[in-house]
Structure 1
Amino acid sequence: MKRWLALKRYLDDGSIPIDNNWVENQIRPWALGRKNWLFAGSLRSGQRAANVMTLIQSAKMNGLDPHRYLKAVLGRLPTARHSDLDGLLPHNWSSQV
């Protein structure tokens, strides 16, 4: 009965998956490395590491090779205008110069 609302939502919309296995499989490598990142040095270091990991995973989810994506973005970043930064995000990425 605790999950009745969620079950009803699932039954009303056939496009909703019954489980979240895909998401769990995507985050598993990060969860396994959690102890390694426990001592990132400082709070800001941990936040930076989380930002980089998010970019890597977002690149993968958008069908990009993370190494090539980061190499290209880091090459463009020093000369990018503030208004162009959204174009450097993985979901907006265009490898054209």
Structure 2
Amino acid sequence: MEFEITRDYRNELLSRREVHFTLTYDGATPSRAQILGKMAALLNVKENLTVLDSTKKQFGMMELRGVARIYDDEENLKMTEREYLLKRSAPKAAEGAE
């Protein structure tokens, strides 16, 4: 899995960083959890403050493009993000405990 950050900018109004990326991979398409984990490690941020908004894949290509948002704190994250995106970005262990 190889990340290429295509756009990385700061949104001061919403206290977050918005990252557009291209991911090249071999084999099966990586899961959202794998993408979030790799991105958090690459950018040196906390995984629980990162939300993967969208991923787009073209048929037949081993490449996907995506958008992620990295928040400064959990309060801004919960106040700004849509509920379904928070559930998608939550770790599987936390979802099973609910």
Report 1 or 2 for greater relative contact order, CA contacts < 8 Å, sequence distance ≥ 6: 2
Identify, as 1 or 2, the structure richer in strand.
2
Task: Give yes or no for TM over 0.5.
Answer: no
What TM-score comes out, normalization by structure 1 length?
0.24
Structure with bigger gyration radius: 1
What TM-score comes out, normalization by structure 2 length?
0.24
